[in-house]
Amino acid sequence: MNYDFTDKEFTLFIDIHTLISQWAKENNLENSDAELSEHQIRQALSQLSKTIYLTLAMEKSGKSDKYNGLLTLMGAMEVIGAISPSLLLSVETSTRIFGRILSTWGSDAQKADLLAPLIDGQLIGAVGLSEDAMNVENDVLMTTGTIDGEVATVSGQKQYVINAPMADWFAVAGTVDGKNALFLVQKDTPGLSIGKKIATMGYQGAAISKIMLSECKIPATQVIYPQKAEQLLGTLKLWENQVLIGASLGLMKAAFESARDYAKTHKTGGKPIIAYQKIGFKLSEMLTLFQTSQLFAYKAAWSADADPKDLESLTLCAKVFCTEAAEQVTAKAMRILGGAGFVSGNTVEQSFRCAEYGLFAGTSTEISRVKIGDNALGAMK
Amino acid sequence: MDFSFTKEQLMFKKEIIRFAKKEIVPRVQEHDLKKQFDFEAFKKLGEFGILGLHFPEEFGGSGADVITTVLAGEALGEAGVDGGLTLAYGAHTFLCADTIFSHGTDAQRKKYIPKLASGEWIGCMGLTEPNAGSDVASMTTSADKKGDKYVLNGSKIFITNGPIADVSVVYAKTAPEKKHAGISAFIVEKGTPGFSSGPNLIKMGVSTSQTSELFFNNCEIPAENLLGNEGEGFNMSLQTVEWDRSALLAPFVGAATYMMNRCVDYAKNREQFGRKIGQFQAMKQKIANIRIFGEAARNLVYRIAWCKDQGRPMNHLEAAVAKLFVGDWSLAPSNDAVVLFGGYGYCHEYDMERIFRDSRLAPIGGGTSDIQKMIISKLM
């Protein structure tokens, strides 16, 4: 047992913070301008590629062997998420979801052509999963592909695709002959159209839109048939949940630290408001939720690498706890800041708006609890 | 980071669960109903080696590390041992025996630890007073040195094992003007003239543990019964906090697993509206909530234990976080468990109501949740 990150991991976290934090302060990464977002994400990826960050938790990436895989990534996500939640969502969707599709199931050629530039920070990926009629992962995917010789023709529609307006490549989940598959589609492929960036409550700097595929033709070699295809959606949700857990840590860190600093400097009745028990106690509850979430997230991440037999259920437990804790911590931070927190654009207000996303994205907390219950109850459904 | 236990630790945990299910759990409900201490079960804990697990073998222990010791506490909770017995074990082993072991002379260790480790003697700790709970420094129990004796006067309250203890570690002021620095610790044996205990206090939960007042009326004890030096008592009491935030919280973590397993069994068998109730999402949610709490609490408790094994000075903030979380967040899942069992959950025949009552102690004993919040807010 060991509850410490290694010196090497701490150094990585500091390096990432140094690379990103000042630059983030000079650029509004939570802006809603899609073109500006793309420019900033490409800059951020380029910066992050100077560290080991983009290779963490990637299968057989080699470069990150001396790190602790997903556990290190969880600590690093917390750092980036606290600086900019939108940046984290974009980078992680590209790297850890699109990238892990390639690193886990991609061919050698796909790894060479797409994964290598991705982890060098030169390519942005997006993943099309959610569909209008697909609210939970048990529903059948309506996006389909047909294979005719060396060509695959794909049709369908995806919603809430993170990075869609800026992505170079898409991995689109669908079916071929009733079996789950992933279609790798380049951005300028005829038949692929990208919707406008949608306005969102939180994560405003992340470019999210619909994508439509209308008889979109791609080489058949760009169709990925995952091993254990029936587990495709579950695996994608697992990865998404892991990102949302990391994002929640970042939101809590940012909100807690902002509220704590405010409480130490803002005076009422001649003394800092932290001196009042109602404020001090609220901060104590926030820190308790934050620290408990950290350990929960690290444990779930550790289990992915070291003890995966209960990975899905434990990750869902961590996802429920961390995302709900983020909602509570950011709401309490808003109360501490009072009117100052209600002003648009401050860290706490942004974290508060983003926290809501974690509750329904990935596997929603409601469905998560059902699945955790199912897991405990065994075969009985 | 590494969250794994060794194979030996996991095997030991299984052994304790097996032992407790066979030897202790069948006796729990009867003793809880009668609010009686289970002397036989306590003795069996001693025979199994749990009461002195972390003490060196020469003192009747097994030399276990803190993680293993905490695992034992979790295992007792997971097996279904009641909070009263695990509290008695905690007060005995960590608040009394460990204080003697950590701060006593060789003679004191040799005299007391083997008998406490075996369960032949029962120990308690007297710290809290009627008007000195969270505010320890305001205690008024005094210890005046007269020649080669100390004379104790005053009273203590809410003392776990008070009515049944053979040995007490008692905190009293040797220099009242020095507040915290004037507190000293003493060993007081049962039967010492001027020392008596009150009747068992009837409590909401942890009913099998015996709790009482302790009275000191010109109670003379040998000066050699002083633990450490005069004025070191407050720091000794603080050092018990490490155990309080790990080994004493561990049974609550284990109890969460026990509750979840019991709820799963019940939900798989109980039928309503023609279906097993486990098929309803509302029941799955309750089971999920219990599991989530248990997983979250476990990490906090073992973090404290691991740090203690590393020999690190206690991080009071992390310890307070662990206590606050287990204290305040354990209430909802134990409530969920009662509600899942419905009317049966409200009846003593099913032990969910006992666990619900036992869990009410978590935000109070060993420093209330409000005190933990005070500590955290001061340290952040």
Q: A133 pLDDT exceeds 80? A: no
Helix (H, G, I), strand (E, B) or coil at A186: strand
pLDDT band at B356 (very low <50, low <70, confident <90, very high): very high
**Closest residue, chain A, to B376 (C-alpha):** A284
pLDDT band at A137 (very low <50, low <70, confident <90, very high): low
What CA–CA distance (Å, rounded) separates B379 from A277?
14
Tell me how many residue pairs between chain A and chain B have CB atoms under 8 A apart: 137
What sections of B280-362 are H helices per DSSP?
Answer: 281-309, 316-329, 331-341, 352-359
B140-199, pLDDT tens digit by residue? 999 999 999 999 999 999 999 999 999 999 999 999 999 899 999 999 999 999 999 999
User: What number is the average pLDDT over the span B125-144?
Assistant: 91
Helix (H) or strand (E) segment spanning residue B227: strand B226-227
**Closest residue, chain B, to A298 (C-alpha):** B1
Backbone φ/ψ region at B174: left (φ over 0), alpha (ψ -120 to 50), beta:
alpha
Helix (H) or strand (E) segment spanning residue A160: strand A151-162
Contact between residue B60 and residue B5 where contact means Cβ atoms under 8 Å apart: no
Alpha-carbon distance A121 to nearest alpha carbon in chain B (angstroms): 28
A143-162, pLDDT tens digit by residue? 999 999 999 999 999 999 99
- Which positions in chain B touch A369 (Cβ < 8 Å)? 281, 284-285, 288-289
Q: What percent of chain B has pLDDT over 70?
A: 100
| pLDDT confidence of residue A27 | 87
B237-256, pLDDT tens digit by residue? 988 888 888 889 999 999 99
Chain B interface disruption, residue of A264, A291, A312, A313, most B CBs within 10 A? A291
Alpha-carbon distance B64 to nearest alpha carbon in chain A (angstroms): 15
- Is B276's Cβ below 8 Å from some Cβ in A? yes
Q: B77 pLDDT exceeds 90? A: yes
| pLDDT confidence of residue A168 | 98
Q: A65 pLDDT exceeds 70? A: no
Residue type, A281: F
The residue to which tokens 């009150």 are assigned: B198
Q: B91 pLDDT exceeds 60? A: yes
pLDDT band at B133 (very low <50, low <70, confident <90, very high): confident
| pLDDT confidence of residue A212 | 97
Contact B288 A320 (CB under 8 A): yes
Helix (H, G, I), strand (E, B) or coil at B183: strand
A29-63, pLDDT tens digit by residue? 888 787 778 889 999 999 999 999 999 988 655 55
| pLDDT confidence of residue A25 | 87
| pLDDT confidence of residue A380 | 66
Contact A376 B285 (CB under 8 A): no
Chain B interface disruption, residue of A256, A298, A319, A372, most B CBs within 10 A? A372
Q: A87 pLDDT exceeds 90? A: yes
| pLDDT confidence of residue A122 | 95
pLDDT band at A256 (very low <50, low <70, confident <90, very high): very high
State CA B292 to chain mean position distance.
23
**Closest residue, chain B, to A9 (C-alpha):** B1
| pLDDT confidence of residue B242 | 80
Q: What one-character DSSP code corresponds to residue B189?
A: E
Contact A299 B267 (CB under 8 A): no
Contact A369 B324 (CB under 8 A): no
- Is B373's Cβ below 8 Å from some Cβ in A? yes
A162-214, pLDDT tens digit by residue? 999 999 999 999 999 999 999 999 999 999 999 999 999 999 999 999 999 99
Measured between CB atoms, which of A280, A318, A381 is closest to B373?
A: A280
Contact B321 A317 (CB under 8 A): no
**Closest residue, chain B, to A264 (C-alpha):** B380
| pLDDT confidence of residue B103 | 97
| Cα-Cα-Cα-Cα dihedral sign, residues B215, B220, B226, B229 | positive
| pLDDT confidence of residue A314 | 97
Chain B interface disruption, residue of A68, A288, A296, A324, most B CBs within 10 A? A288
Alpha-carbon distance A315 to nearest alpha carbon in chain B (angstroms): 10
Helix (H, G, I), strand (E, B) or coil at A125: strand
Alpha-carbon distance A283 to nearest alpha carbon in chain B (angstroms): 7
Contact B1 A2 (CB under 8 A): yes
Contact A370 B284 (CB under 8 A): yes
Contact B5 A1 (CB under 8 A): yes
Q: Which two tokens stand for residue B159?
A: 């003392």
| pLDDT confidence of residue A301 | 96
ipTM higher than threshold 0.90: yes
Query: B136 or B37: whose pLDDT is higher?
Result: B37
Q: What one-character DSSP code corresponds to residue A140?
A: P
Q: What one-character DSSP code corresponds to residue A208?
A: E
Q: A136 pLDDT exceeds 60? A: no
Contact between residue A189 and residue A218 where contact means Cβ atoms under 8 Å apart: yes
pLDDT band at A135 (very low <50, low <70, confident <90, very high): low
What CA–CA distance (Å, rounded) separates B233 from B110?
21
Contact B373 A298 (CB under 8 A): no
- Is B299's Cβ below 8 Å from some Cβ in A? yes
Q: A340 pLDDT exceeds 90? A: yes
What CA–CA distance (Å, rounded) separates B313 from B232?
17
| pLDDT confidence of residue A66 | 55
Contact between residue B196 and residue B190 where contact means Cβ atoms under 8 Å apart: no
User: What number is the average pLDDT over the span B346-352?
Assistant: 94
